[in-house]
Structure 1
Amino acid sequence: MEKSAELTRNAQLPKSEEEIQERKGFVVVDETVKYRIVTVIACILVLSSIFFNTPSEILAGMTRIVVAPSILVTDYLIVGNVGAAFFNSGLLMLAAIAIARRNEVNMNGPVMAAVFTIAGFALFGKNIYNVWAIMVGVLLHARYQQEKFSKFILIAFFGTALGPLISQITFGLGLSPALAFPAGILAGIIAGFCLPPLANHFVKFHQGFNLYNIGFTAGVTGMFFMAMLRAFDFQNPSTLIVAEGYNRLLGTYLFVFFTGMLITGFYFSRRVMPGLTRIWRQSGRLVSDFVTSNGFGASMMNMALLGYISTGYVLLVGGQLNGPTIGGIFTIVGFGAFGKHVKNILPVLAGVYLASLVQVWEVNATGALLAALFGTTLAPIAGYYGWGYGIIAGFFHMSMVMNVGYLHGGMNLYNNGFSGGFVAAVLVPIFDALKKSS
């Protein structure tokens, strides 16, 4: 079975997989329990918003977030406020969990990666207005193909990367509301309808070495929409709105947050180190569902460790914890259940860091930080070929990601997934040739 087909169906965990887990000595966690745990995490995000701002401030901030064009990079901590950003994040995470539950999808690695990614990007680009048209488009595609929506639910979730397409057309082009709202929603539905066949096709382009496959797909889709807009003389402004000065507050918040996840994972692990080491031995290449293959507890611990590492990287290089960087951290954490682990992200981080030392970008600049965090989409290269190859991939990714954003005009939030697809497509055949000759 092709990896593309596996990816679309991997949200469904057959009973036989539970039996396999039991034979391997895992603590088999009931789906209801897993849903409750992830729901609690989302509720923590929602409820913690009141520690940052009052309810009236959160409501006012949410209003500003909803009407923002939201193209890269738009930090909702600035557009709204800290409380509104976390409220938006938790709310969208809860919505994704509810949709998955409603469609009887198991809370496995890909779904956990998707809901955490939605939570992360809800801090800087996704909001309660701009995600629904994409999902409706994917739903219509499922109906057209006479398939269950659950088969395409991962594409629907990750496809919300194109949320800024809806927001920019609706609020950023200066159109009259009578035209802007229908045009934005229609563009989102069309994009969502086209995503499933494109995603299944493009996974072959990078051979599963770019974990953000929908990021590449959304980049190509956004590029086509941006080309059409430019043809009618509509331009997207270069946007860089990022918060500063929250490192102590948000650093403490994240440390407590990930410690809670670590303790939860430990509670559901029968044997801690064997579970983690099994994860660390995997390359992470698509499709690598750590929850199914190594257990829920070990996956949660791996996710928490990645949270510590990625947060530590931002702070150690003198960067700022804000909407975009925490979005990157949450995405890494989510993919800690679906392809990323301690051993395969560190080489990529090292490669991006080395690139920033010799290239024109400062290591603690927003773009460089996002390249490092989201560049871990190439972690399977390090896991499959080795550390040295992962460093090379990270080095080249730094250069590529700084140059592809213009193509989609900032309307694809997963810009690093777009870049990672090109980097993997170029480097993987070369690495294969080097491996064969050695």
Structure 2
Amino acid sequence: MEAEHPVISPAAPEPDALARQQRILLRLVALTALGCVAFGFAVDPPGEVLRGIGRILTPTDVLITDFVDVGGLGGAFAQAGLLTLLACGAYRITGASVNGSAVGCLYMLLGFALFGKTLLNVWPILAGVALYCRFREEPLRDQLTTAIFATALAPVFTEIAFNSALPRAASVPLGLLIGVLIGFVIPVVARQLFRAHNGFSLYNMGFAAGVLGVVVIAVLQSYGLTPQPPMAWTSGHDLPLLVLVALMLAGVIAAALVLDRRPWQGLLALHRDPGQAPADFLAAHGAGPTLLNMAVVGAIGTLLVLLTGADLNGPVVGGIVSIIGFGACGKHAANIVPVMAGVLLGALAKPFGLTDPGVVWAALFGTCLAPVAGRFGPHWGLLAGFLHVSVGQVTGAFTAGLNLYGNGFAAGLVAAVLTPVALLLSRRGRRVRDRPQEPVEVPAA
């Protein structure tokens, strides 16, 4: 009979140490974002960077729109860095906890600001979540991470406000209204839909945004307000982007050494954690091992791209950065590699190329199914990845490309179908099923 690996949690840090840890983590993200801004101004002249940011703010930004194609290399990365700096400021001002989910959220924002989220389109949904907090009489800091995750549907505002056939006097207010309504309802929708996959997909907001997006887009399409989504995918920037990713990973390792003189000591215990959401590696395993894990999974994602010969561009770097962030709240080498292998195997068994955008994205973002491998074993992770590469090819059409977390939507469907079967058939699953369960707080994000 297989032995269970107990997860040993370190002692909770003292309040002063916890405050210092959160300050360092927030500074790490802020410095990474600032580095992206500096990179933008280093690769392009300042005037071109500013013009590029201007071009990014209003055109179509559905999946997959590489902002490098729209605003140039400099404009894309400067815009992403500035948006993430604003989010870091929001955490600082509100006093929101910088836990594992927050770290994952901020890195994901930085990544998705390279191909969908802009300095303009996120605000209606953020305002809607703030209105939800006011209605529920909750402090915004308790929902800040949820609010930022919820900007998965930010392109809905852009499409209605700037790319519909309506006159601007009607399209902008309509886009604002729909964005605010999405932000108001998505926290409760996400909390309810979490039960469908029970934390076996780490991108719960992607699943919620997909389900909500199907409803919203169906209504909009019935009025003829959403076009067929185009795709922009650039190439030719591999070397500078590889250097930038390497510097990001070096920064994460440096932060690990600042917070823990021997961060590798807790890494083995972290790899025994299944990663099932809501997972917080910072709380369970400490900041040093968690940061080192973030660097390891980011390096694995980068190596995957290099070995397959895929392009390094805005969306691909966004995928790598997102993996880095979720190394704080669910992903580690032991549970993402089987899923990646399953995606590649699925692509080889079907008429897909390993460098096709949909396959590259499925390999990177499909790692949100890591808890399947972590809980039931690598063979189930392999199967999850094999299924995900097919499901991910079709789910984007359900929301006309306006749900940026399309792979999260696909992964939620795969997890909702696959994990009950795994619970039924696998020995690990039977032990999980039969074990008395403690109540788990259902997260919105």
Tell me what 1:226 maps to.
217
Partner of 1:151: 142
For residue 12 of structure 2, what is the aligned residue in structure 1?
20
Which whole-Å deviations, capped at 9, do the CAs of 1:224-256 have from their partners, x for residues lacking one? Answer: 111011111234213210111111221122112
* Letter matched to residue 396 of structure 2: G
3-state SS in 1 of match to 2:224: coil
Q: How far off is 1:397 after superposition?
A: 0.5
Of 301, 310, 324, the residue aligned with 2:315 is 324
Give yes or no for contact 1:244–1:322 (8 Å, CA) kept in 2. Answer: yes
Of 332, 338, 348, which residue of structure 2 is paired with 1:341? 332
SS of the aligned residue for 1:234 comes to coil
Classify 1:431/1:249 alpha carbon distance in 2 versus 1 (closer, same or farther; 3 Å).
same
94, 99, 103: which one pairs with 2:94? 103
In the alignment, residue 175 of structure 1 is paired with which amino acid?
Answer: L
Q: Between 386-395 and 229-238, report the one with greater CA deviation.
A: 229-238
Aligned residues: 420
Q: Name the CA distance, whole Å, in 2 between partners of 1:30 and 1:405.
A: 38
Equivalent residues of 2:162, 2:171 under 8 A apart: yes
1:21 touches 1:294 (CA, 8 Å); kept in 2? no
For residue 22 of structure 1, report the CA deviation from its aligned partner.
Answer: 6.3
Q: Tell me if 1:353 matches 2:377.
A: no
Please name the residue that 1:417 is paired with: 408
The answer as to 2:258 corresponding to 1:267 is: yes
Quote the Cα distance in structure 2 between the aligned partners of 1:71 and 1:226.
12
AA partner of residue 355 (structure 2)? N
Counterpart CA distance in 1 for 2:22 and 2:305 is 34
* C-alpha distance in structure 1 between counterparts of 2:333 and 2:52, whole Å: 36
SS at the partner of 1:20? Answer: coil
Gaps of 5+ in 2: 1-8, 431-445
The reply to whether residue 379 of structure 1 matches residue 370 of structure 2 is yes
Structure 2: distance between partners of 1:312 and 1:238: 30
Structure 1 position 197 matched with structure 2 position 184 = no
Matches within 5 A, 1:301-316: 301-316=292-307
Match of residue 6 from structure 1 = none
Q: Is 1:401 paired with 2:387?
A: no
Query: 1:278 aligns to what?
Result: 269
Moved more, 128-137 or 45-54: 45-54
CA contact (8 A) 2:96 2:142 kept: no
Q: Which residue of structure 1 aligns with residue 64 of structure 2?
A: 73
Which shows bigger deviation, 108-117 or 228-237? 228-237
Secondary structure of the residue that 2:408 maps to in structure 1? helix
Superposed displacement of residue 271, structure 1: 2.7
SS in 2 for 1:144: helix
Q: CA deviation at 1:37?
A: 2.6
Q: Is the Cα contact below 8 Å between 1:18 and 1:28 reproduced in 2?
A: no
The separation in 1 between residues aligned to 2:410 and 2:192, in whole angstroms, is: 17
Deviation track 1:75-129 (CA, whole Å, cap 9, x = no partner) reads 0000001111111111111111111122211211100000100000000000000
Distance in 1, matches of 2:262 and 2:373, equals: 26
> Residue type of the partner of 2:156?
L
Quick one: which amino acid aligns to residue 363 of structure 1?
Answer: L
Displacement of 1:308 after TM fit?
Answer: 1.1
Cα separation, 2, equivalents of 1:342 and 1:139: 36
Q: Distance in 2 between matches of 1:18 and 1:362?
A: 44
Q: 1:138 aligns with which of 106, 125, 129?
A: 129
Instruction: Spell out, residue by residue over 1:28-67, the C-alpha distance to the aligned partner (whole angstroms, 9 max, x if none).
Output: 8443333223222221111221111111001110111001
2:436 aligns with: none
Q: 2:208 aligns with which of 217, 222, 227?
A: 217
Would the alpha carbon gap of residues 130 and 253 (structure 1) be closer, same or farther in structure 2, given more than 3 Å must change?
A: same
Cα offsets for 1:343-378 (capped at 9, x unmatched): 110000000000010112111111100011000010
Taking the aligned partners of 2:156 and 2:56, their CA distance within structure 1 comes to 15
In 2, distance between residues paired with 1:255 and 1:335?
A: 17
Give the CA deviation at 1:339: 0.5
1:264-293 Cα distance to aligned partner (Å, 9 max, x none): 212322333222112111001011101111
Where 1:106 maps in the other structure, the secondary structure is: coil
- Residue type of the alignment partner of 1:349: M
How many angstroms apart in 2 are the aligned matches of 1:414 and 1:85?
19
Aligned to 1:427: 418
Task: Find the aligned partners of 2:338 and 2:20 in 1 and give their Cα distance.
Answer: 32
Residue number among 288, 305, 317 corresponding to 1:297 in the alignment: 288
Q: Any conservation in 2 of the 1:266–1:298 contact (CA below 8 Å)?
A: no
1-structure distance, mates of 2:14, 2:348: 48
Q: Are the equivalent residues in 1 in contact too, given 2:29–2:107 (CA < 8 A)? A: no
1:41 aligns with 2:25: no
The aligned counterpart of 2:442 is none
Partner residue of 1:171?
A: 162
Q: Is the 8 A contact 2:10 2:285 kept in 1?
A: no
- Structure 1 counterpart of 2:80, from 89, 97, 114: 89
Retained in 1: the 8 A contact 2:129–2:184? yes
- TM-score of the two chains, using structure 1 as the length reference: 0.92
- CA distance in structure 2 between the partners assigned to 1:34 and 1:70 by the alignment: 30
* Aligned partner of residue 114 in structure 1, secondary structure: helix
Whole-Å Cα distance in 1 between the matches of residues 337 and 358 of structure 2?
A: 18
| Match of residue 50, structure 1, among 18, 38, 41 | 41
Q: Which amino acid aligns with 1:179?
A: A
TM-score, normalised to structure 2's length?
A: 0.91
Contact persistence 2:28–2:252 (CA under 8 A): no
